Structure 1
């Protein structure tokens, strides 16, 4: 007997409401328990739709269900890593934002992700043969909650140097509030912050435009203000790669300007993309979406031309 689509949606919607209630502490249950139940149900739904759906002739449906199944499987497996270029690893299944590990003169962590991501980071470290104390530096590309939520616990457990832009350091240290957004999404994210609480951390090294970090042949801080006042790119001229932060979104293999709702200054964000287009790099490692491997700076130049039209 096949459950109808509407029943699956109702079940998943109910679990989302229960998870939200748990986050708000309206129910005495662990939100992560509900989350894993949600993932399990989503997997079951995708499997049923792939193998038993009466809409086998509709390829679009099949692709969607397979995509859901793959995403859920990646979440449940966890602790994977992908070596993008020698010495640079992506923590696969990272929660909140892309998290990168640079293995060069110890381990450098780029961004921290949301609550729960520490486990993912440490799992990848173990596979590389390292432990938490081997993390010497944590570089924050910008002070949005999805990039800094785990910073306090990581600092306490690793003792690493915290590095961030001069402009965003005041937010990280709690001297200025983390930027919020308005409207319905703003209200939703304010509720989420009750669960994703942030504990301020002192920044050990305040990076200015042009400062260099002694990894990857000299990793240069490039100020790309717009998405946030102190949004940083990290550029290796020797390796021809850039950690682009949220300066550029990567959606289904295509690049785009950052989402306006989450961007502090739209005009400066476009200027930041133009500045990136003036650099020479083959690899772009974004804060969200898949890394762009090969001719990355050419693609950024093309985006600049599109934005000027």
Structure 2
């Protein structure tokens, strides 16, 4: 079960408007789960609207009544079945904080891998390569063009299931696909206890991989000045540790990126931001030791050299069998 970060994400979402759109069959099949998630959002002081296209027939009257009775704080909007559901929603919701479409399946790429994030430019240019869900390809184009035109900033496509909306908005990993024009990137010091919780959550994602040396919450708290968070759109998605080796050399440790943004360029941004900060502080060399193959690729892409430096043999001895990377700061 993913960990919920209620206090950390509540500030960004409280008082904002979240619109959920769900077609008839999906809503009926996941009725209780969807209602539970929307009620949860309302308890977090989030304004909600629910679009559906359930036919106005006798068999659905109980669903209409339950929606009205159980979601008194939610605006319920019914789309006539003969109308194009997605176009109707996209034409009418252009000032919400988040627009969420609930679907039956995850959005996947041509290789069957889940897509965590998409930018509008890449999606419009490479639709066939990015998305394997044929039925939603046309909708994606509509969504991306509306975002590019400034109608709204963020659209989510989620698989409808238990806790899907809750986990999308209140966990580090998310549950579906986030689509945006651009993602606002920040690299900031870890200062508060809430920041410590976020670093702990991100590092815990890597526990089973064995790529990172374990760091207890006590260690994180006592050495918080060494840690940095990568923030995307106000949400913590990555972290790094700054370890001073000597007056000229600094080590980049605990580099970790959340599942949601792992296939994006967040790793590149984090390493580049770390390098810029190290340069500003007067360091001349960055070291990093890791056996994570994805980080190997990032380091080589950014001009690091792989191999143990003789003068840092003592540091290498502390991590036997782990590849050392280094880069001279220009």
Please confirm whether the aligned pair reaches a TM-score higher than 0.5, indicating the same fold: no
Instruction: Flag the structure with more relative contact order, 1 or 2, with Cα contacts below 8 A and sequence separation at least 6.
Output: 2
Greater strand share, 1 or 2? 2
TM-score, normalisation: structure 2? 0.26
TM-score, normalisation: structure 1? 0.27
The structure that has the greater radius of gyration is: 2
